[in-house]
Amino acid sequence: MRLRESVVVLTGASGGIGLELASQLCAGGARVLAISRHLGGLAVLMNRYPSQLRWHSADLRTRSGRQEVATAAWAMGGVNVLINAAGVNRFALLEQIDEDTLDDLLDLNIKAPLQLTRLLLPLLREQPHALVVNVGSIYGSIGYPGYATYSASKFALRGFSEALRRELADTTVDVLYAAPRATRTSMNTTAATALNQALKVGMDDPVDVARAVLDAVQQQRNELYLGWPEKLFVRLNGMLPGVVDRALRKQLPLIRRYSDANAKEHSK
């Protein structure tokens, strides 16, 4: 799909990967309906691309917020791409997460993209060619200690993407699942970043992640996994999970140490 022919609904557009997607989409000639609760970095882009970029404030965790987005998308007309990029990350052991935080993560990371996709599918199906892009994570294929809740949401998003792709196989709507590895965004706490550095985990810049996602869109790919050796670990985890179990068990003391530091950081 060519960017200049794209009319896009983009969630999570005010920062991180979402903001870079908005910037690169507009630079490529796309029209974008950017969805976020706060304007954030979109203000600069709106001045740069006044005829291409529209912002709509909505809380995707609520039924009314999702309906507002659907109404705005129908009013925009010709929407042929939905990018579900909104999400939240929580670095914490399961016992360190309270009920409200867990519900909030699941509402935004999995309930919101499922419900919004359901609402917008009739509009997408009207187009000669349309695409749903779900931005997941490497942790949607590798369950990682310290990210049990986040992994659960991204495993669900990956399964949703695969099933929806097969469900729509005889229609004009395609589905792309994109799985970045660790990315330098504000979602990472100080402790999470320190853990990545201690484990020598590679971290990508949002600019590069957005570029890779949009390259996959234009190449009409079904899946995108970013990072090496992360892509190898995904395959290894699928074929020989016991090997990954043993490797990650060795990391548990370090993960617990930084998770405890993270909990103290948030309790202040």
Locate the domains of the chain by residue range: 3-267
- For residue 104, the tally of other CB atoms under 10 A from its CB is 15
Rounded mean pLDDT for each run of 10 residues along the chain, 268 residues in total: 96 96 98 96 96 97 98 95 96 95 97 98 97 97 95 98 98 98 83 84 91 97 93 90 93 91 73
Q: What is the largest CA-CA distance in the chain?
A: 54
Q: What is the pLDDT of residue 203?
A: 85
Asked whether the beta carbons of 131 and 165 are under 8 A apart, the reply is: no
Angle between helices 63-76 and 112-125 (to 10 degrees): 20
Q: Supply the DSSP symbol for 39.
A: -
Contacts of 241 (CB under 8 A, 6+ apart): none
User: Which CATH number describes the domain made up of 3-267?
Assistant: 3.40.50.720
H-assigned helices in the chain: 16-27, 42-48, 63-76, 99-106, 112-125, 148-167, 190-198, 206-218, 230-239, 241-267
Classify residue 180 by burial, with Cβ atoms within 10 Å: 0-12, 13-18, 19+: buried
Torsions phi, psi for 219 (to 5 deg): -90, 0
Q: Which two tokens stand for residue 127?
A: 């187009």
CA angle 150, 156, 158 (to 5 degrees): 105
Q: Which two tokens stand for residue 58?
A: 């909505």
Residue 154 catalytic? yes
Distances 33 to 21, 41, 207, 247 between C-alpha atoms, Å:
12, 15, 19, 43
Residue 49 catalytic? no
163-216: per-residue pLDDT in tens?
999 999 999 999 999 999 989 887 778 888 888 888 888 889 999 999 999 999
Q: Pick the catalytic residue from 139, 150, 177, 258.
A: 150
Q: Pick the catalytic residue from 144, 154, 225, 258.
A: 154
